Structure 1
């Protein structure tokens, strides 16, 4: 996968303000407000910044956490993790491997087979249905 490099000014011109805030400034949607939180159509979830494939409906589950949740990436290395020490916590932040967009966080309390819960902001993704 070819890495995408853009300046903050370039991203700001390309993205709506709310998507820029989430993906480039590591913002977070309020829980239960994202369009994909209770959304279960068949298809792929792609990065809102660079269109990289991140997750599929096959790994989406209802975690009742307030954000769309997935137990696995669509492809190995679709995302990468960094330590997030903000807000007085230590968490694993999830970023897009192609463009470094902030997506959300991953926690070790998901279902089998991975036991992980990728808690992802709806605004960090676009959805492409199977019938599209």
Structure 2
């Protein structure tokens, strides 16, 4: 369960609950409720734990081990989350605004990867707008 994984992680870091709460930028009482299993973590809380632990969200929520993660992870998950956040902010009108022509790769492999990335991002934007 989430709370058991959280407690194990905290103990691996050799932190007290108060220290872990501070690291996650939450109150000690909120943290204690989550670790004791009396309260479910918020999405924001989970995102902070993912960042600090460098373990995938699927591990924290479902208990999927790192070695099995490659078989269950959604393709382009990080790209989708990042693009959704950018679009939610309304800070771009065209995907080409993101890519600075002066800093583009000069080699053909880099150019190929950037072209593929741009094509996928354009498709994801179009799909999201439907």
Q: Return the TM-score normalized by structure 1.
A: 0.26
Rg: which structure is higher?
Answer: 2
Q: Return the TM-score normalized by structure 2.
A: 0.26
Whose strand fraction is larger, Structure 1's or Structure 2's?
Answer: 1
Q: Which has the higher contact order (CA 8 A, sep 6+)?
A: 1
